[in-house]
Amino acid sequence: MPHHAIRRARRWAVLGVICVLGCADLAVLPSLEPVYEGCATDENWRALDSVGSQPVGEPQVAANTPIWLSPQPGAELDAGSPVRFRFAASADDKGADRGDARCPQYEPQRLGPRHLPAVSGTLFELRIERDGVPLYRLLTTRQIASPPASFLSGLRGSEVRAVLEYVRLKSNQVVAGPYAAEPLPLRLR
């Protein structure tokens, strides 16, 4: 194929991608894929995103509002050092760093290809946002999280906010939540 024909084909391909993205309904595109810790799986991600901001179960009240244990609001953090976020389901339910979810995938199973077993318990979502745009998303069943230092160092000099929500799962289905904490403003130096 002649060189000019290859260049023309590349141009048409770029134009095609631009047209598809320009005509795409961005609301149906999947959200930023999270990092998974603890018992969290991609099925939990889909369940959480399918609920969106529509509450399931009891409404949010003080008794089920998540809280930040550390760092403190407005803290100035060293972007070159690991930052440890600690949180709890509510002021009355401090829980434990390991969380309360059962992790059947870590229990002895039969040999052979299997899908990960369903998760039940509390699933937390931690997002790091700048100007309302999520830059990092973590799903975890633990009550402690540390974004990678390489990610944080790229935000040096930025003001960001950490957003925390949780849902209660029963066999990978959201049965309560989402419940949201007050966003945590932070400055990375």
What are residue 166's DSSP bridge partners? 124, 179
Residue 49: inside a domain, yes or no?
A: yes
DSSP element (H, E) containing 35: strand 35-37
Phi-psi region of 101 (alpha: psi -120 to 50; beta: other; left: phi over 0): beta
Residue 21: inside a domain, yes or no?
A: no
Domain count, the chain: 1
Cα 113 vs. chain centroid, distance in angstroms? 27
- What is the rounded CA–CA span in Å between residue 104 and residue 11? 50
pTM: 0.77
What CATH number has the domain bearing residue 88? 2.60.40.10
Residue 175: inside a domain, yes or no?
A: yes
Q: For the chain of 189 residues, list the mean pLDDT of each consecutive stretch of 10.
A: 62 49 41 86 89 84 92 90 92 85 61 68 95 94 92 92 94 93 94
pLDDT at 82: 86
What's the domain range around 132? 30-188
What are residue 2's DSSP bridge partners? none
pLDDT at 20: 43
pLDDT at 18: 47
pLDDT at 149: 87
